[in-house]
Chain A
């Protein structure tokens, strides 16, 4: 229990504030299933109490930076990767995630539960990425779905990222929501307002495109 971010224990992070209520983790544990869409990320496999999570949400709602950062820790890598693959540029991705964090913190008062945090902050991020894409305008003044040439950001290893740039915005979004957001097609359908079959067929088409341009 290092009690620092990057450390192993959630309880440690909570203890650090000297908050008496969580001095000893309650004896009764239940495997906490992350109920905000999607798949396993490392922290979720750790045993966690429900009391922990609701305490965390309560403190985050009241504006506690540490509690917010704890929630953020659970999703931050996925957030950055999503932005990176959506926008293709490290700097833009960093800016957009940073904006997302600040907007989320400012309106964290409406957080319903710790479980809902992930989907909610992803929604903010996805909206901001869309705005960012809308800012890539071509000469005729109409929205060009393809991103500008990413320039020096790509090495051989990131051929995939470059190939992503050649997809349409929607195709990229579906893949990013799936891979980094961890959403299933029905959930993506809700976010993008399509039916799940359309999501899957578009993803299939997008992956075919990617495969061709990577030659794999």
Chain B
């Protein structure tokens, strides 16, 4: 599979969160892939991007593709995830009640990524960072 795009993400830059996943979406739209497929990739990539912005110091999103699948790899330098199983539970969030009250940190990030991708792998190291690899198989339209 070939690397088609590669973006840097700044931790804490909520203002520009979503730009990288937006570019991936534009690429897939130009290719003319089915809207439902594009949506799955977009939602998952967006959540991945937001996770880096919210939790890490910095990170990258890499977008790979061939004729049968898309792969999105989100890598960050950050605190890491202590309990991946816990983080995968819907509604589990490390956000403070105040943040939740403002409508953020609903604990749907990783579950949403899992639900929208066909395969997802997480590798995380405490105090070092996290790498999430998501694969999406292109359904024949």
A and B form one complex: no
What is B's interface to A at a CB cutoff of 8 Å? Answer: none
